[in-house]
Each structure stands twice: as C-alpha cells, then as structure tokens.
C-alpha cells in the first residue's frame, strides 16, 4: 500500500464496518477523494430518478404525520443511540473526507448526538397558543402542523452535522427528509444513512421513503428545489448558491431556509483579556483550516493594543502544526481541494494590491493534498477583498480608535452571521449586544464567533440568508402554522361587531 492510497483504503474499511453496501460504487459516478492526500476512495453512483424520490417522500408524509410527535421522537432517540455506537468510525470518516482534525471530527458527530437529544425532548413540547376571543362562547388557538417533505442541501465543511440539525427537527415535526449532500463529501452521507437505516429497522413502522439520500451535482439540487411537492428547502452553502435556491423556491411560492456566507469579526478593546483573546482568535481563525461559515475573518483591534496583539498572534501562528489531520498534535488539516487553495492565493494577492501587508503565513505546504499556512494580513482599511468571504484561513487585521467606529466596521460588510467583542467593560459589551450594536444573527462577548451550541437558534442576516436552524424555536420553520377558532355557544356573533342577519 502506497502513502497515496492510505486515506482511501481507510475510508473503505470504515464504510464496510458501518454497513454501506458495495453496490454504491460505480465506474462512472461521482469521484470521492480524501483531501488528506488526494487519493480516490471510489466513485459513487448518482441517484437516477429524482421524480421518484419526491413521490416516495410525499407518500411517506401521509402516514408519518398521523403518528403522535412523541412516537416520531422515538425514531430520533434510536438514531442518537446508533450514532453513539458508531461515533468513532463516523468521526474518522469525517476526518478522511472533509479533512478535519480528529477532535473536530469527533465534535461534529457529538453535535449530531446532541441535536438528537434536543429533538427527542422537543417531540413532547411542540406547542401552540391559546388566544382570547372577542366573541362570547368562542375558543381561539394557534397550532403547528406537519409541513411536508423537506429538502436538505448540505455543504462539505460540516458534511453530517447540518443534515442532523435539519433532519432531527423535521422528523419529530412530522416531515419526511430528502438529503442532497455536497458532491465533495458523499461518503459521510452514505455512512450516516446506513446508521439511520439501523435506527429505522429498530423503530419498525416507519414508512418507506421517510428519509432519502440523493447523490448528484448542482443539477440535482436545482431540480429538487424547483419541485412543488417539497414545501421547504433548507440549503447551506455560498451566498451565490443561496440566491439561486431562493429564487427557484420563491418562483413556486415555497419556503427556503438559508445558511449562507459569513464574514465574521472580533472587536478587541483596550480592556480585553488578551490571553483569552489570543486563544479565541487562534481557534476561530484557523480551526477547520478556515473552512467554517463562522470562521473569524476580520480582527478589529483598538489602535493602542494592535502592535502587541499582532506580535503575539504572529508568534502563535508560527508554531501552528499543519499536516495530516489524523496526526497527534496537528491543528491545521488540508483545504478541501485545489480550487480552495486558488481562492486563498488570489485573496492574498488582492489584499497586497489593496495595501495589505502579510504578517505571517500565506504559503503552501509541500506535501500530497492541499495544505496552506494560515495567514494574518494587516490592512489599511476595510477594502473590497476584506468585504468578500474567502473560504480559507486568512485573518485581516484592522484598527480603530472609537468604539462606535469599531461597531460600524463590524456591520459594514454584506454578510451577517456571527460576531463577538472582547472587553471587560459592561458598557461596551451591552452596546455591542444592543439594537444599535452588532447586526449579526449571533453576537458573543468574550468568546469567539465560532463553535455555536445546539441549544440556540443558528443563522444570520443580510447575505447570510436569514434562516435559523438547530435550537430555540427553529423547529417552527418545519411546520405550518394554523389559527383555529371553535364556537361552543348557540349563537353566531361575527368579529368586529359586524351584523349580517338573514
């Protein structure tokens, strides 16, 4: 066995253990590669009949929505059990296919387990409202009903967790699920579905077609997004992709739940605990090789502390171990492919053209796969390249003198996902969280912008798409809202005092 095919061989071993049948391989399907060393794990057969997929989902919806929500939650509970039993193997596969370091791969599967637990509890707490009626002898209430098949389009950087965020909520809400994963990460999707199949077998009476996996490219996602039988499309990816999905779904008056680009900033004030800030910056800016939607991309530092903080960051970056993410102590794995590395190189060149100075990093690492050294770039202002999200480990550093100026800089980009401030000032912290502070969907104090917990609703504003997934009341997106009025009197009064006697 050569070094080049090690990752591919390990992927196949894991898939076999997880129960993925050999029949998924095809001589002319989608090529599944490991970014660790560029090796080809195999070719995955494309889903041939998308119309049949939608038909099966619609057929599954009718019996599934009739089951009580706590019974539907039992399936998700069983899924959580199966994920616990397969956690190490699935996490290893995430590392092999997405290039995440071992602890991040484990963390992603743990996130799936956590959302299972959340959704099981939710299955006994799907609630509505009782509303006072103006008419005597009337009872008015608001309820949430199952919506219908949900299409989940996921991205390569969280190849399984994003599906779980959506699928677990959709299933307890009474909705079948169709999953179109990134064509860059089909293996983790196949493995996850094999794990779900074991839960379905234990559950016993789930309808066929309740959860389906679609292997395909952009055209498959576009076709399913245009299908009027699918009332909700939840799409995670680039802003460009999200705009296309939103227009397609809106044209048929469907719903879209979009989780798109982020250009996340940290504001560091003179009172900040810089020891904490350095640690938060390092993880947020270089974790997952900068390939998170919540990656820290802009560091906005008060001018009085900028030189010292940059010197500390430079020293930390120079010691960051880059390499095979399976290795002990490695913190930076590969970029997903050569196109990502090209974007990294191009953005750095543009930053220099726009007056930036590379403080550290920015070069390639000479080894199989696509590896780069995370870069810090000091910028004179928030130029065009800074306002653009490059999905790679580049941290732009800018300075400010007035706190209101820092907040304005934070908000002056098209994206609005995550944000944070490091300060020991209650006034600055509360101002950052106020209506005139951060305009992002996520705003943190003294923690970085990356690494959200599943208990809170996840999502952002502006070019981030406006969607919310995971915790809080994000479940309402997967249901239809209905206002109900019951007249238990023997009269028929009309609302607003209207008289219409016949």
**Which residues are paired to 444 by β-bridges?**
420
Give the β-pairing of 461-462 and 415-416.
antiparallel
Exposed, middle or buried, 470 (CB in 10 Å: 0-12/13-18/19+)?
buried
Instruction: Give the closest residue to 164 by CA, choosing from 106, 118, 207, 229.
Output: 118
> In angstroms, rounded to a whole number, what is the distance separating the alpha carbons of residues 301 and 182?
36
Give the max Cα distance, the chain.
89
> In angstroms, rounded to a whole number, what is the distance separating the alpha carbons of residues 355 and 57?
53
> In angstroms, rounded to a whole number, what is the distance separating the alpha carbons of residues 332 and 316?
13
Helix (H, G, I), strand (E, B), or coil: what is residue 397?
Answer: strand
DSSP string, 333-379: ---SSHHHHHHHHHHHHHHHHTT-EEEE--PEE-SSS-EE--EEEE-
How many residues belong to the chain? Answer: 502
Instruction: Give the closest residue to 107 by CA, choosing from 334, 325, 421, 336.
Output: 325
Helix (H, G, I), strand (E, B), or coil: what is residue 433?
Answer: coil
Q: Which of 116, 173, 293, 440 is catalytic?
A: 293
CA angle 451, 452, 457 (to 5 degrees): 160
Backbone angles phi, psi at 119, to 5 degrees: -70, -35
Alpha carbon distance, N-terminus to C-terminus of the chain: 89
> In angstroms, rounded to a whole number, what is the distance separating the alpha carbons of residues 234 and 225?
9
31 has catalytic annotation: no
In the numeric block, the tokens 């389009």 are attached to 153
293 has catalytic annotation: yes
Is-contact 171 115, C-beta < 8 A? Answer: no
> In angstroms, rounded to a whole number, what is the distance separating the alpha carbons of residues 435 and 402?
18
Backbone angles phi, psi at 377, to 5 degrees: -125, 120
Q: Which of 82, 259, 428, 469 is catalytic?
A: 259
C-alpha distances out from residue 46 to 32, 132, 186, Å: 12, 53, 10
Hey, which residues are catalytic here?
259, 293
């Amino acid at each position: 066995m050569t070094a080049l095919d090690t990752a591919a061989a390990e992927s196949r071993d894991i898939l076999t253990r997880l129960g993925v049948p050999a029949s998924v391989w095809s001589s002319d399907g989608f090529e599944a590669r490991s970014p660790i060393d560029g090796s080809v794990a195999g070719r995955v057969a494309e889903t041939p009949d998308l119309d049949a997929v939608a038909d099966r989902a619609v057929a599954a919806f009718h019996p599934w929505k009739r089951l009580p929500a706590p019974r539907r939650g039992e399936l998700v509970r069983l899924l959580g059990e199966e994920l616990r039993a397969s956690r190490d193997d699935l996490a290893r596969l995430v590392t092999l296919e997405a290039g995440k370091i071992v602890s991040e791969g484990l963390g992603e599967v743990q996130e799936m387990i956590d959302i299972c637990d959340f959704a099981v509890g939710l299955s006994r707490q799907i609630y509505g409202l009782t509303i006072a009626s103006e008419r005597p002898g009337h009872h008015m209430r608001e309820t949430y009903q199952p919506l219908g098949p949900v299409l989940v389009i996921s991205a390569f950087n969280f190849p399984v967790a994003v599906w779980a965020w959506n699928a677990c909520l959709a299933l307890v809400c009474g909705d079948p699920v169709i999953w179109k994963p990134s064509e860059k990460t089909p293996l983790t999707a196949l493995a996850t579905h094999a794990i779900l199949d074991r839960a379905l077998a234990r559950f016993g009476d789930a309808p066929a077609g309740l959860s389906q996996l679609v292997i395909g490219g952009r055209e498959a996602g576009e076709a399913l997004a245009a299908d009027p039988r699918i009332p909700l499309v939840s799409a995670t990816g680039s802003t460009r992709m999200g705009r296309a999905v939103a227009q397609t779904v809106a044209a048929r008056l469907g719903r879209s739940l979009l989780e798109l680009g982020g250009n996340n900033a940290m504001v560091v004030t003179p009172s900040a605990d810089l020891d904490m800030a350095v640690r938060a910056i390092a993880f947020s800016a270089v974790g997952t090789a900068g390939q998170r939607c919540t990656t820290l991309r802009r560091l906005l530092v008060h001018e009085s502390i900028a030189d010292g903080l940059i010197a500390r960051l430079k020293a930390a970056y120079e010691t960051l171990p880059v390499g095979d993410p399976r290795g002990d102590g490695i913190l930076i794995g590969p970029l997903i492919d050569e196109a990502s590395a090209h974007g990294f190189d191009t953005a750095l060149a543009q930053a220099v053209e726009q007056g930036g100075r590379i403080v550290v990093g920015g070069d390639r690492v000479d080894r199989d796969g696509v590896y780069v050294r995370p870069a810090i770039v000091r910028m004179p202002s928030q130029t065009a390249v800074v306002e653009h999200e490059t999905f790679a480990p580049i941290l732009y550093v800018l300075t400010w003198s007035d706190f209101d100026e820092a907040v304005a800089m934070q908000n002056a980009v098209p994206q609005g996902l995550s944000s944070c401030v490091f300060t020991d000032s209650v006034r600055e912290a509360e101002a950052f969280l106020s209506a005139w502070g951060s305009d992002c969907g996520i705003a943190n104090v003294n923690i970085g912008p990356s690494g959200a917990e599943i208990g809170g609703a996840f999502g952002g504003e502006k070019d981030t798409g406006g969607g919310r997934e995971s915790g809080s009341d994000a479940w309402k997106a997967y249901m239809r809202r209905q206002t109900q009025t019951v007249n238990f009197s023997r009269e028929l009064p009309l609302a607003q005092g209207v008289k219409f006697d016949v």
